[in-house]
């Protein structure tokens, strides 16, 4: 289930980063990394 959540997050990030600046891309990447760490930790 964690993998599915991560995939959904990654898909959202891809769609979002297409419209955003590099600074926001970096922030989104950091949020994804944190979410994946929490998912894996379960």
Number of domains in the chain: 1
Q: How does pLDDT run across 14-40, given as a tens digit for each residue? A: 777 666 567 777 888 999 999 999 999
Cα angle: 39, vertex 5, 18; to 5 degrees = 115
Rounded Cα–Cα distance for residues 40 and 17 (Å) = 24
Question: What is the reported pTM?
Answer: 0.43
pLDDT value, residue 22: 76
Domain that holds residue 36: 2-41
């Amino acid at each position: 289930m964690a993998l599915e959540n991560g995939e959904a997050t990654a898909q959202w990030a891809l769609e979002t980063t297409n419209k955003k600046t590099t600074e926001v891309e970096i922030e989104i990447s950091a949020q994804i990394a944190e979410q994946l760490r929490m998912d894996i930790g379960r």
